[in-house]
Structure 1
Amino acid sequence: MSKTAFASTGDLEEKKASFDEIAAGVYAYTAEGDPNSGVVVGDEGVLVFDAQATPAMAEGVIARIRQVTDKPVTHVVLSHYHAVRVLGAPAYHAREIVASDAARAMIVERGEQDKASEIGRFPRLFRGAETIEGLTWPSLTFTGAMSIWLGKREVRLLQLGRGHTAGDIVAFIPDCNVIFAGDLVEYGATPYCGDAHFADWPKTLDNLDDFDAAAMVPGRGAALTTRAMVRDGIAGTRAFLVDLYASVQGSVAKGRPLRETFDVAYAALKPAYGDWVIFEHCLPFDVARAYDEAKGIDHPRIWTDVRDREMWAELKG
């Protein structure tokens, strides 16, 4: 395979952001395959689900919110710990920043390494990096489930199982049957699996599917505005995960080294998924994590900017 620019360092084209109302007072902030945010407007305040990567980039979400309401942002919910989702949180001046207990533990364990790693991989997504104040720490954490009440409007936060990370949560708005899925679901975008749990993730998607949601905001890709689109988003994500892990398990069973395992997986997945956003970026990280899990490593190894580039040179250099 020919040498390519590291991760997404060559991706410099700004994306057009959209802000669409997908149910009454519920909005999807999307940007052509870049990380999404969800917004819920309640009686007494606004909840933002996933904060963007920097305070400067969060201002784009805030500007769209101000087009539809002058209510304060009272809650920022973090679907998981990754820097691209959380480091913009201070811009909202929210009363609470909410995450799972497991997500907070991952910030403690690997937050600094992840910040340096992600900025190095995809600098365009960290526009205004100089505005980052440091790691984002949740002020409120939970395990299992909790409800946030925006006046009379409930937003139910749920852990449905491990998947994209060990600390993933989703937000369910019962009055309109809408779900913010975070990176558990992608739509036309390649799932990033560097911290994934492949054996668990499809079962977590089954739990998500059981809601039969009327609409969904995935982690990346367009808002899913019908039940059919929601089903397609979940099914496509599941198919990618199953296909990738089956390929890697097969290679591990045959005793193949990581580089050969990657080449086999790339050949297997490229025809069906090669046109998905960030396929070339994600697949080396995805295969490396799948290789570890297939060898019995349950707790994902920490990615650092040094490990990132060493892995990339081994698999794509």
Structure 2
Amino acid sequence: MTSNWTELGDRCWVRRYPEWDLNIGVVAGSAGVLVVDTHATEAFATELLADVRRLVPGAEVRWAVNTHAHFDHTFGNSVFAAAGATVISHENAAAQLLERGPELQRRYAENPGVDPDFPAIPAEVIAQIATAPLVPADQTFSVAKVIDLGDRRVELLHLGNGHTDGDIVVLVPDADVVFMGDLIEESAPPSYGDDCYPLDWSDTVDRVVGLLTATTRVVPGHGAVVDAEFVRDQGAEIGSVANNISGLHHNGATLEYALRHDEWPYPAEHLAAAVRRGYEQLGGVRRTLPMA
């Protein structure tokens, strides 16, 4: 795992931070610098901002884009907003940050020790997450937005639901680089949380695949930079999860039975939320087989 910036194309970088194995992107143009995601706490975001300023000395950090609403990608927004950057996200992500962020913070404030979902996070970082100011985007969009960096453009696209209902991809066309946020992960299986859309996710990834070339460098939310083939393969695995959920539901399997199902492309313990969310989306079960 590298702790330095890697240039993926002309003035387009990624840095893989060890906390949550999180990828942060930077795109520089003649009119300023755009940062993709803002990290999880004020302290981490302050460090990130300093890293960006060292990377592109003298350039103004004008835009901070959130790929989705989760804390590790957004709780540093306040630092970038205070530095004069315009924070941008999908409209659903901005709403979700304010709706779900306080709930997460209350959980951490009430249980200030180690989080069982993230056991590697030290208690002092848990405390910082619990007290981070929640600053949603001050510019939002529903489908697409183009940011003019002066001598180049960056395209923001919402291509459907998946990891959340506010996922966006960040395209840098002249560098042939795409930042996908947590629609794709390299260092762990895709993260199915209680706000995921498991039945829609593979279709969304397929739409991204249609934008990629054989040479596109794709930055996942977490892990190493990948290519179009990796994205296509993971999209197929995500599609397999959706097909299993739909098949179980169609055949009359109860939720309890489906949760015990073990024929998945990923470890079953990572998929409980996917099954529950899928069953919620599909509605009541019509019993057609003798499944308990």
| Secondary structure of 1:249's aligned partner | helix
Would the alpha carbon gap of residues 154 and 222 (structure 1) be closer, same or farther in structure 2, given more than 3 Å must change? same
Which runs of 5 or more residues in structure 2 are unaligned?
A: 109-113, 286-292
- Higher RCO, Cα 8 Å, sep 6+: 1
How many angstroms apart in 2 are the aligned matches of 1:250 and 1:117?
35
Would the alpha carbon gap of residues 95 and 67 (structure 1) be closer, same or farther in structure 2, given more than 3 Å must change? closer
Contact kept, 8 Å, 1:83 with 1:115, in 2: the verdict is: no
- 1:284 aligns to what? 272
- 2:243 aligns to what? 246
- 2:31 aligns to what? 44
Would the alpha carbon gap of residues 296 and 34 (structure 1) be closer, same or farther in structure 2, given more than 3 Å must change? farther
TM-score (norm. length: structure 2): 0.80
Contact kept, 8 Å, 2:6 with 2:14, in 1: the verdict is: yes
- 2:42 aligns to what? 55
1:77 has 2:65 as partner: yes
Would the alpha carbon gap of residues 216 and 80 (structure 1) be closer, same or farther in structure 2, given more than 3 Å must change? same
Which runs of 5 or more residues in structure 1 are unaligned?
A: 1-14, 298-317
- 1:29 aligns to what? 15
Contact kept, 8 Å, 2:17 with 2:24, in 1: the verdict is: no
How many angstroms apart in 2 are the aligned matches of 1:147 and 1:157?
6
| Secondary structure of 2:257's aligned partner | helix
Q: Among all aligned residue pairs of Structure 1 and Structure 2, give the percentage whose two residues are the same amino acid.
A: 31
- 2:206 aligns to what? 206
How many angstroms does 1:220 deviate by?
1.5
- For residues 198-226 of structure 1, the C-alpha deviation after alignment (integer angstroms, 9 at most, x for no partner) is 332222112211112411111121012xx
Would the alpha carbon gap of residues 199 and 39 (structure 1) be closer, same or farther in structure 2, given more than 3 Å must change? same
How many angstroms does 1:30 deviate by?
1.7
How many angstroms apart in 2 are the aligned matches of 1:97 and 1:104?
10
TM-score (norm. length: structure 1): 0.75
How many angstroms apart in 1 are the aligned matches of 2:107 and 2:84?
27
- For residues 53-84 of structure 1, the C-alpha deviation after alignment (integer angstroms, 9 at most, x for no partner) is 11222244334323421223211101111122
Q: Which has the larger radius of gyration?
A: 2
Would the alpha carbon gap of residues 199 and 261 (structure 1) be closer, same or farther in structure 2, given more than 3 Å must change? closer
- 1:273 aligns to what? 266
How many angstroms apart in 1 are the aligned matches of 2:106 and 2:23?
21
- 1:222 aligns to what? 224
- 1:138 aligns to what? 137
